[in-house]
C-alpha cells in the first residue's frame, strides 16, 4: 500500500530537476575550451603593444610640430576655420604614416597613452616660459603682484609662491591671480597641442584653483559635520553627552590610561579632584611668579611718591562710623582707626625706602589685609576700599608699569576665584570633596545645571593654565556604567537612534541598537577605534614631515607636483575629445 510519502518520493525521482540533471549529463559541451596562446602569438602581441606606444610618443611630438605650422595652414586656408581643418588633416596624416611605417594602431589605448604622455611632457615648460616673459617686461615686472602672477603662471595656478593672506580680500585677490595664471597656462599648453582646444584648456585651467579649494572646504565641512553628528547621537543614546564621546575617542588616539582606569573602576573618583586642586595650586604659583617678575622694574624705581594725596584720602574717611565725634558704627570706626594708624605710621618712615613704588605697594597690601576682615556692602568695607584705591592710584600715576602688573594679577586672581567657586575646589573636608566630584563629573553635560558649558570652560582653562589632564578621567567615569545614564535610561535611549518600542516588530531593531546605548560598550569601542586610527594618523603626520623635508632638500619634487597640477587641463581636454584615451579599441 502506497501512502502520501511514497507518492512524494516517486514524484521527486521523476520530477523536472532529475530530468534537467540527466539532460546536462547527456548534452555536449556548449562552450569550447579557450585555446592557450602560443609563444609566437604572445611575442606578436608584445611587439604590437610596443609599436602602439612608440607611435603614440612620436605622434605627441607631431602634435606640437603641427601647431607650429598652424599659422601657415591658416594663411593657406584663408581663415581660422579652414586653417584648423588643414591642421587636423596634417595630424591625421601623421597617424596614417605611423600606421604604415611601424604598424601602430591609432585607436589603441597604448597609442593614445603614449600620445598624451608625449604631449604633456612637451608642453611642461610653457608655464616657466610665460613666467620669465612676465618678469622680463618692464611694465609687468614692476606691478605689485608681478611675482605672484609669475608664480601662478609657472605652477599653472597651483600657487602664488607667497604666504597665504590673512584677510578675505587678500585671499580673494590671490585666488583671482591663481585662476588667471591657471587659465593662461592651461590655454597655452592645450593650444600648443591643438589650437582648436586652447579655449577649453583655458577654461579648465582657470576653474581648477577655486574648484579644488571649494572641494577641500566641502570635504572638511562634511567630515566635521559627520563627526559632530556621531558624537551627538552616541552622547544622547548613552546619556553621557557628546563631550564624553569625543573625549573617549581622543583618549584612544593619545593612548591615555586615565580614561581606561576610570572607566574600568581601577582609579578612585577622588583622584581627579586631587589633580584639579594641584592644577589650581600651579595657577597660584604662576600668578605669584608673574607678579614677582613684573615687580622687578618697580623695585628698581627709587623715585619718591608724594604721600599727601594718600593722607588726604584717609582724612576723608575719618568721619565714617561716627557723627560729630560720636561713634555710631563700632565696626566701621574700628576699621578706620586701624587704617589711619597704619597710614600715619607709614608716613613717618623714611621716604626713600617706604614712599617708593615698592614701599607703597607694601602699604597697599597692609591696607588690603585690614579690608579682607570686613564684609561686602558695609561702611567699614567702603572706608577700606577708599584707602586701598588711593594708594594704588598714586603708584599707577607715578609708575605706569605697575598698572599692567596689577591688572594681570587681578585677572589671574578673579579666574582663580571663579574656578574655586565654580568647581568647589577651594575648601577642605569630605563635603567639599563630594561637591567637587559632582561638579567635575557634570562638566561633560551641557545643561542648566552646568550653566550651559560654563563649568567646562573653567575646566579647560584649569587644564591649560594649571597643566592638568582632567577630561580623559572624567569621560572614563561617565562611561563606567553598563546601562545608559540619566532618568530616561533603559530602552528609551533607543529613541536617539530612531527606533520605536511601540510594537513587537521593533524588538529585533531594539536589540541591535542596545550596544549603542551602553556607555561602557561605547566607551570601549571608541577608545579602541582611537587606538586604531592613531597609527595611520601618526604615519600620515610622519609622511607629511618627510615630504616637507624632501621638498626642502630636493626642490625638484615640488616642481614635479606643480607639473602634475599643470597637466590637469591638458589631460581633461584631451580625454574629453572623441579620440581620447577612454575611446579605444582593444590592443
- How large is the average pLDDT for residues 284-293? 87
* pLDDT band at residue 17 using 50, 70 and 90 as cut-offs: very low
Direct distance between the N- and C-terminal alpha carbons of the chain, in angstroms, rounded to an integer: 71
Of the candidates 419, 535, 277, 234, the residue with the CA atom closest to the CA atom of residue 247: 234
Residue 434, pLDDT > 50, answer yes
Residue 188, helix vs strand vs coil: helix
Across 73-77, 357-361, 551-555, least confident range: 551-555
- How large is the average pLDDT for residues 27-49? 69
- CA-angle at 185, arms to 182 and 189, nearest 5°: 135
Q: Which residue has the higher pLDDT, 473 or 18?
A: 473
- Under DSSP, the state recorded for 207 is H
Residue 578, pLDDT > 60, answer no
**Cα 444 to Cα 231: distance, rounded to the nearest angstrom:** 12
Q: What is the pLDDT of residues 235-248, one digit of tens each?
A: 888 888 888 888 88
Q: Which residue has the higher pLDDT, 213 or 512?
A: 213
- How large is the average pLDDT for residues 275-302? 85
Residue 587, pLDDT > 50, answer no
* pLDDT band at residue 203 using 50, 70 and 90 as cut-offs: confident
- pLDDT of 494 reads 47
- How large is the average pLDDT for residues 525-547? 67
Residue 64, pLDDT > 70, answer yes
Contact 510, 233 (CB under 8 A): no
- pLDDT of 159 reads 83
Across 198-207, 222-231, 434-443, least confident range: 222-231
394-397's contacts with Cβ under 8 Å and 24+ in sequence apart are: 394/305, 394/306, 394/309, 394/310, 394/360, 395/305, 395/357, 395/360, 395/361, 395/364
- pLDDT of 218 reads 61
Q: Which residue has the higher pLDDT, 353 or 124?
A: 353
Across 158-162, 193-197, 484-488, least confident range: 484-488
- pLDDT of 145 reads 82
Longest dimension (CA), the chain: 136
Q: What is the pLDDT of residues 220-238, one digit of tens each?
A: 655 565 567 778 888 888 8
Contact 356, 301 (CB under 8 A): yes
**Cα 67 to Cα 123: distance, rounded to the nearest angstrom:** 12
Residue 335, pLDDT > 80, answer yes
**Cα 167 to Cα 170: distance, rounded to the nearest angstrom:** 5
Q: Which residue has the higher pLDDT, 2 or 425?
A: 425
* pLDDT band at residue 348 using 50, 70 and 90 as cut-offs: very high
**Cα 479 to Cα 468: distance, rounded to the nearest angstrom:** 20
Residue 7, pLDDT > 70, answer no
Of the candidates 333, 334, 355, the residue with the CA atom closest to the CA atom of residue 346: 355
Distant-in-sequence, close-in-space partners of 242: CB < 8 Å, separation ≥ 6:
228, 231, 232, 234, 235, 236, 446
- pLDDT of 585 reads 41
Element (H, E) at 323: strand 322-323
Residue 350, pLDDT > 90, answer yes
* pLDDT band at residue 543 using 50, 70 and 90 as cut-offs: low
- pLDDT of 211 reads 78
- CA-angle at 464, arms to 461 and 470, nearest 5°: 85
* pLDDT band at residue 250 using 50, 70 and 90 as cut-offs: confident
Residue 191, helix vs strand vs coil: helix
- pLDDT of 491 reads 45
To the nearest whole number, what is the mean pLDDT of the chain? 77
* pLDDT band at residue 504 using 50, 70 and 90 as cut-offs: low
Predicted TM-score (pTM) of the model is 0.47
- How large is the average pLDDT for residues 202-229? 72
Contact 384, 366 (CB under 8 A): no
Across 8-22, 43-57, 510-524, least confident range: 8-22
Task: Select the highest-mean-pLDDT range: 94-98, 340-344, 567-571.
Answer: 340-344
Distance of alpha carbon 572 from the chain centroid: 31
- pLDDT of 342 reads 92
Q: What is the pLDDT of residues 450-482, one digit of tens each?
A: 555 677 788 888 888 888 888 888 888 888 888
- How large is the average pLDDT for residues 8-21? 49
* pLDDT band at residue 540 using 50, 70 and 90 as cut-offs: low
**Cα 171 to Cα 183: distance, rounded to the nearest angstrom:** 18
- How large is the average pLDDT for residues 369-384? 87
Of the candidates 199, 420, 191, 400, the residue with the CA atom closest to the CA atom of residue 298: 400
Amino acid at each position: 500500500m502506497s501512502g502520501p510519502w511514497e507518492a512524494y518520493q516517486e514524484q521527486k525521482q521523476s520530477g523536472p530537476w532529475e530530468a534537467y540533471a540527466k539532460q546536462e549529463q547527456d548534452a555536449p559541451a556548449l562552450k569550447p575550451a579557450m585555446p592557450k596562446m602560443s609563444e609566437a602569438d604572445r611575442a606578436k602581441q608584445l611587439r604590437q603593444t610596443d609599436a602602439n606606444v612608440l607611435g603614440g610618443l612620436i605622434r605627441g611630438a607631431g602634435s606640437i610640430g603641427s601647431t607650429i605650422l598652424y599659422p601657415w595652414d591658416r594663411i593657406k586656408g584663408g581663415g581660422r576655420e579652414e586653417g584648423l581643418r588643414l591642421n587636423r588633416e596634417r595630424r591625421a596624416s601623421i597617424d596614417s604614416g605611423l600606421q604604415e611605417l611601424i604598424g601602430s594602431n591609432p585607436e589603441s589605448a597604448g597609442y593614445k597613452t603614449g600620445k598624451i604622455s608625449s604631449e604633456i611632457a612637451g608642453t611642461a615648460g610653457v608655464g616657466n616660459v610665460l613666467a620669465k616673459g612676465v618678469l622680463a617686461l618692464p611694465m609687468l615686472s614692476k606691478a605689485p603682484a608681478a611675482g605672484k602672477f609669475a608664480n601662478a603662471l609657472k605652477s599653472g595656478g597651483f600657487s602664488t609662491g607667497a604666504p597665504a593672506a590673512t584677510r578675505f580680500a587678500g585671499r580673494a585677490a590671490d585666488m583671482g591671480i591663481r585662476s588667471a595664471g591657471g587659465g593662461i597656462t592651461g590655454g597655452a599648453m592645450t593650444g600648443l597641442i591643438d589650437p582648436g582646444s586652447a579655449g577649453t584648456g583655458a577654461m579648465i585651467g582657470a576653474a581648477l584653483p577655486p574648484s579644488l579649494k571649494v572641494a577641500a572646504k566641502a570635504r572638511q565641512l562634511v567630515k566635521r559635520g559627520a563627526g559632530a553628528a556621531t558624537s551627538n547621537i552616541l552622547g544622547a543614546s548613552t546619556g553621557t553627552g557628546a563631550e564624553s564621546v569625543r573625549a573617549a575617542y581622543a583618549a584612544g588616539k593619545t593612548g591615555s590610561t586615565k580614561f581606561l582606569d576610570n572607566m574600568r573602576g581601577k582609579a578612585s573618583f577622588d583622584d581627579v579632584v586631587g589633580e584639579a586642586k594641584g592644577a589650581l595650586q600651579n595657577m597660584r604659583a604662576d600668578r605669584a611668579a608673574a607678579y614677582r617678575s613684573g615687580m622687578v622694574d618697580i623695585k628698581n624705581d627709587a623715585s619718591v611718591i608724594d604721600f599727601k594725596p594718600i593722607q588726604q584720602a584717609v582724612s576723608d574717611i575719618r568721619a565714617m562710623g561716627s557723627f560729630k565725634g560720636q561713634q555710631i558704627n563700632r565696626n566701621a570706626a574700628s576699621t578706620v582707626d586701624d587704617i589711619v594708624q597704619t597710614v600715619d605710621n607709614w608716613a613717618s618712615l623714611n621716604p626713600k625706602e617706604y614712599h617708593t613704588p615698592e614701599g607703597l605697594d607694601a602699604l597697599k597690601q597692609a591696607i588690603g589685609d585690614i579690608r579682607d576682615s570686613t564684609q561686602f556692602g558695609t561702611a567699614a568695607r567702603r572706608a577700606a576700599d577708599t584707602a586701598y584705591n588711593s594708594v594704588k592710584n598714586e603708584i599707577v600715576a607715578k609708575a605706569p608699569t605697575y598698572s599692567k602688573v596689577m591688572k594681570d594679577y587681578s585677572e589671574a586672581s578673579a579666574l582663580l576665584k571663579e574656578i574655586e567657586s565654580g568647581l568647589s575646589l577651594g575648601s577642605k573636608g569630605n563635603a567639599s570633596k563630594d561637591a567637587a566630584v559632582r561638579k567635575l563629573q557634570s562638566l561633560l553635560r551641557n545643561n542648566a545645571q552646568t550653566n550651559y558649558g560654563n563649568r567646562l570652560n573653567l575646566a579647560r582653562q584649569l587644564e591649560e593654565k594649571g597643566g592638568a589632564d582632567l577630561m580623559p578621567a572624567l569621560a572614563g567615569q561617565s562611561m563606567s556604567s553598563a546601562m545608559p545614564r540619566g532618568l530616561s535610561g533603559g530602552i528609551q535611549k533607543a529613541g536617539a537612534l530612531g527606533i520605536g518600542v511601540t510594537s513587537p516588530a521593533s524588538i529585533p531593531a531594539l536589540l541591535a541598537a542596545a550596544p549603542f546605548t551602553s556607555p561602557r560598550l561605547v566607551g570601549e569601542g571608541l577608545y579602541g577605534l582611537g587606538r586604531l586610527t592613531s597609527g595611520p594618523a601618526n604615519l600620515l603626520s610622519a609622511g607629511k614631515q618627510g615630504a616637507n623635508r624632501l621638498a626642502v632638500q630636493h626642490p625638484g619634487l615640488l616642481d614635479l607636483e606643480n607639473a602634475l597640477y599643470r597637466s590637469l587641463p591638458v589631460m581633461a581636454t584631451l580625454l574629453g575629445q572623441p579620440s581620447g584615451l577612454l575611446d579605444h579599441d582593444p590592443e
